[in-house]
A = this chain, B = another copy of it.
Amino acid sequence: MLNNEITELLQIQYPIIQAPMAGGVTTSKLVTEVSNTGGLGMIGAGYMTPEQILEQIREIKELTSNTFGINLFVPNEFVGTENEIEQANQFLKPIREQLHLQDKDDLEIPEFNIVVETFHEQIEAVMENHVPVCSFTFGIPSRKIIDDLKQCGIIVIGTATTVREAIEIEKSGMDIVVVQGSEAGGHRGNFIEDNQESLIGLMSLIPQVVDKVSIPVVAAGGIMDGRGFMASICLGAKGVQMGTAFLTCVESGANEIHKEEILHTYEDQTVLTRSFSGKWARGVKNKFISEMQQSEAYLPNFPIQNSLTKGIRKASSLQKNRDFMSLWSGQSPRLARNQTVKSLITNIIEEANITN
């Protein structure tokens, strides 16, 4: 159970992956502590420039010789009309006022061709630096990219939220599929089905995927301790990927307010919102989510809305104000602990061995 296809493929000791949370959580300290403890540390590089990626890879290689990985966002085509952006800025105006921000902060509206270009540069950085593992969210990259990565000896992981998506990931030639249950915090990884259709709980999702694909399946969503680990294995997963559980760890780079919010919230207080980024994501309900709920349906797509709220999230965080931060969390916040990575991982392994 602790030694299987996943540990062999990834050359790690335990089939425990630290979810590649974007936005500053996956510091080199967090990533390397996970890898040094026997799990797989992952850089959440979706929003990072190629230079930032190079810099962090260099840092990590100084701190561990174990396997680590990186996650990139597959660009989805998007258009944002000026009208749509203007309207979204109107919706955000009262929030900017509460934070004493300029009417519009210096907005850089992303363009699709630039996003694609950056993505290719990110891939280059990953290949040139022989990052051992590369995972993707929000879709499947081109066959060429997957082949190139594999040719470099890089293990390629996809993210699915439904059986159909998992089958497409297997067909694309990727090595492993992470299945993200409806319990998961942060952004939904759905790319074929829409948001509602793709909200499948892990109790249903894992066995149905396992029956239809032959590549190893890793479970993600609400898993926090040895119980969730063992349950995932029983359902047919070969390993787990945990986000919230690592986010509140001592070594994580998450904002202290964010950590405290998770440590003091309940399972019925996380909601799905697209107001922060234009993509559906799960987080602790706060003033931003409530105030934006009415306009949610009219906001521009990812990553445009994400750019529009960047200044708000930053200011809220600097002002130590929980009200307008994106407090991503899965559905198991009651199980979150402010502990070391080592304690989190070794407790899971001990529980798994006892049950075993």
Interface residues of chain A, those whose CB is within 8 Å of chain B, are 162-164, 181-183, 193, 196-208, 211-212, 219, 221-225, 227-228, 230-232, 234-236, 266-269, 271, 330-332, 334-335, 355
Given contacts A208-B267, A235-B231, A268-B162, are A201 and B224 in contact (CB under 8 A)?
no
A204 close to B331 (CB less than 8 A): yes
15 A-B Cβ contacts within 8 A?
A162-B267, A163-B266, A163-B268, A164-B268, A183-B204, A199-B199, A200-B267, A201-B222, A202-B203, A203-B232, A204-B267, A211-B335, A212-B334, A230-B231, A231-B232
CA of A77 to CA of B225, assembled, Å: 40
CA of A221 to CA of B200, assembled, Å: 11
B225 close to A268 (CB less than 8 A): no
Shortest CB-to-CB span from A58 to chain B, Å, is 37
> Closest chain B residue to A193 by CB distance?
B268
B200 close to A202 (CB less than 8 A): no
A204 close to B231 (CB less than 8 A): no
A227 close to B236 (CB less than 8 A): yes
B203 close to A231 (CB less than 8 A): yes
Shortest CB-to-CB span from A311 to chain B, Å, is 29
Q: Kindly list chain B residues whose C-beta atoms are within 8 Å of the C-beta of A208.
A: 267, 332, 334-335
Q: Kindly list chain B residues whose C-beta atoms are within 8 Å of the C-beta of A224.
A: 207
